[in-house]
A and B are shown apart, each in its own frame.
Chain A
């Protein structure tokens, strides 16, 4: 197995560069070769040295070459909205960069000022893949963007809402402050608490007690504020969350400690409580960081804006300028180049081409369009340039309407209540009743103060803090593992849903099969002595017909010079023909002829992704019911199902998006895997929607999980991991409940004192922490 030198993907047909008798490579595709050459010419080859020494990096996709000019970035209206002046009064813009994955990327991005003229500074945040780039008066953003694109990091300008950004930074800083202060206070309190437990002596008892109270108060008020706020929100909605028992324990602890200080009893629970606040805040902060590392929903917005557009500026449609898709309006004449996704519904005024509508309808066959045809946004232009007039804005287009549907549906999607909250709900009730019971029992025996104290103690020591720390930690470990594998998960509740899943629906086109057509069954007839590579590339040189493109892909070009074709003829609908070295060649009707003699025949088909077969077998082994849903012709779905060894009831073809949706709605615990706009509704209504690599933005928005690297096997691994994760979480639940029952027993028998609490509370947290670390370690090592 060989891995690409540039992107580390497996190179199935490796390419090598031959230069001065030295071979460099392997590379997986032409895109990576181009980037390698550019880096080398710029003297940036150190990139590969750094990359070699980096142990950990994320998976990334191979480089795709684009021809964007990014001139719209220099437009002053655009800059007004997207850029700002930094403190040195230089124009600054933030780009989200695709493909940031390791230390070497950091190196190269921060070297920008040395190889792009006019760049004064460039700083990258690896975690967010965001580069902040400032230019001097002589520089231009379009140049920067082109250079970034050339070296394989496609830039997306981020619209910076200064106020929102500042708020976010401030919130992050306050979170850190809370963690730091609670940690420092907990540490200091422990010093005095230990002296108190060891018997500090009369003269210091009161002083030490006062010091612990002084340190604890900021923790229990300022640092623990998020718990109080969450409990208030939960109680207002007439529900209970895990924060409610935590808040009760903290408030009761504070009341009791201050009260004991005033009556001169050196007893409080502040050592345990502050340490718990610290650990709780810490685990939540890490969970938040991990989740934000994936793309947050708001960050996805810039993907929806898509690529730049060519807008005509002259009467005869010969001159074009690049604009940002947001600036498009009805009546604009735009040029749609091959491979571009059509940004808005439009009528074609010039040109003929084939469209790939599979993203919108699921059909794999290409649709021919010509002057006067209406094209829908979300379909992809395949062969020739098209000039079209925009008839409706992106948000009013057919795609936009589906999108609106999704957005309305998004709020309706039933939010799963995670298991810890369900358990804590009952738990709080039980503990409340128990402490009331304890209070009245003690009250009857006469001593009001001791009754009150015992009931309070029960409330404090049964706080299920261990659970509240262990669950986030388990999720953190699983989420970070999937992030490492290039899987973006929107919410940790998704893991619980994945573990519960029983049925899995899979879309065909783009998910099990590749989106592009491919040559298959290439048969050579009558033993000709010809070099097909020569013939195909010479004849199809300028053709952008989908079959021609796939033929050219089938015979990768290795030679530098092509023979001259004489008497070249291209007849639409028939094929191409011409004379090469006095021989007449014709490519037509899936056949190649040499001097009227059939020399080769072939067929086209969409190729099944290489890991689809194994993945489906493994999914079945996991006990999941599989069903393939497709908008494609029934026969095509059937033949695919046969190659995958699927039974008759396990596939369905010719489904509209709405039919897919209702099929999924009728089943419970479902997973939907898809990529196109026609899957978006289904992705949204499934318990878990997974959008595969290369999916359309609309599916991204509807899905809960998004794969940033190609391959179905990741989904299988993800399901296995989710199940294991939930096992660990259930185990922690049982452990934590055992500890709490123990403390209830101790409280009833009257054995509980601050010292016992100081031992039991951290011990229970420690046990579940170790349990989740060991549990997740096993499952992380399984998924290599």
Chain B
């Protein structure tokens, strides 16, 4: 059981480390908008082709 005096401070330090991290993230604004980022990650980064512009270039070619 000699390990206990080592494990307990370690557990407390870990806990404090994560609490500190949480405080830091909250104050930095990570949790200000809880809804949108969850949706945003689902969207692919695709380029859109603007047909309006494309049509104009086609006309130019002809």
Contact = CB atoms under 8 A, between A and B. Distances in A.
Interface of A: 40-44, 46, 50, 103, 106-107, 110-111, 114-115, 123-127, 169, 172-173, 176-177, 180-181, 184, 188, 191, 204, 207, 211, 289
Given A177-B23, A204-B4, A103 B32 contact: no
Given A40-B51, A43-B48, A126-B39, A173 B18 contact: no
A779 B29 CA distance: 36
Contacts of B4: 204
A176 B23 CA distance: 9
A103 B19 contact: no
B42 to A, nearest CB: 6
Interface residues of B, number: 30
Contact of A115 (B8, B15, B31, B50): B50
A115 B26 contact: no
B61 interface: no
A107 B48 contact: no
Interface string B6-39: 0010011001001100110011010111111001
A655 B19 CA distance: 63
A42 B36 contact: no
B49 interface: yes
B58 to A, nearest CB: 14
Given A40-B51, A125-B35, 7 more contacts: A111-B48, A114-B47, A123-B36, A169-B29, A177-B23, A177-B26, A180-B19
A119 B29 CA distance: 24
A52 to B, nearest CB: 13
Nearest to A107: B43
Given A106-B40, A181-B19, A42 B32 contact: no
A46 B44 CA distance: 11
A191 B11 contact: yes
Contact of B48 (A44, A126, A191): A44
Given A50-B43, A106-B36, A115-B50, A173 B26 contact: yes
Nearest to B19: A184
A46 B52 contact: no
A180 B22 contact: yes
Given A41-B51, A126-B35, A173-B27, A184 B43 contact: no
A41 B19 CA distance: 51
A44 B22 CA distance: 39
A126 B33 CA distance: 9
B43 A103 contact: yes
Contact of B51 (A43, A107, A114, A124): A43
Nearest to B42: A103
B3 to A, nearest CB: 13
A169 B15 contact: no
B20 to A, nearest CB: 10
B46 interface: yes
Contact of B26 (A42, A123, A176, A191): A176
Contacts of A127: 33-36
15 contacts: A41-B52, A42-B52, A44-B48, A50-B43, A103-B39, A103-B42, A106-B40, A111-B48, A114-B47, A125-B36, A173-B27, A177-B27, A181-B23, A184-B19, A188-B15
Contacts of B48: 42-44, 46, 111, 114-115
Contacts of A43: 48-51, 54
Contacts of B19: 180-181, 184
Contacts of A173: 26-27, 29, 31-32
A188 B16 CA distance: 10
Contacts of B46: 46
B62 to A, nearest CB: 19
Nearest to A111: B48
- 9 closest pairs, A vs B, by CB? A127-B35, A43-B48, A43-B49, A180-B22, A126-B36, A43-B50, A103-B39, A184-B19, A188-B15
A636 B32 CA distance: 53
A42 B27 contact: no
A289 B33 CA distance: 11
Residue from B27, B48, B49, B54 whose CB has the most chain A CB atoms within 10 Å: B48
Contacts of B54: 43
A184 B18 contact: yes
A40 B51 CA distance: 8
Contacts of A126: 35-36, 39
Contacts of B12: 188, 211
Q: Which of B29, B31, B32, B36 has the most CB of A within 10 A?
A: B36
A177 B22 CA distance: 8
A289 B12 CA distance: 32
Contacts of A191: 11
A191 B26 CA distance: 26
A289 B39 CA distance: 18
Nearest to B49: A43
Contacts of A184: 15, 18-19, 22
Contacts of A211: 8, 12
B59 to A, nearest CB: 15
A43 B51 CA distance: 6
Contacts of B32: 169, 172-173
A42 B18 CA distance: 47
Contacts of B42: 103
Contacts of A111: 48
A180 B15 CA distance: 12
Nearest to A207: B8
Contacts of B27: 173, 177
A426 B54 CA distance: 74
A107 B49 CA distance: 15
A229 to B, nearest CB: 20
Contacts of B47: 114
Nearest to A127: B35
Nearest to B12: A211
Contacts of A180: 19, 22-23, 26
Nearest to A104: B43
A476 to B, nearest CB: 15
A414 to B, nearest CB: 35
A172 B29 CA distance: 10
Nearest to A215: B15
Contact of B40 (A110, A169, A204): A110
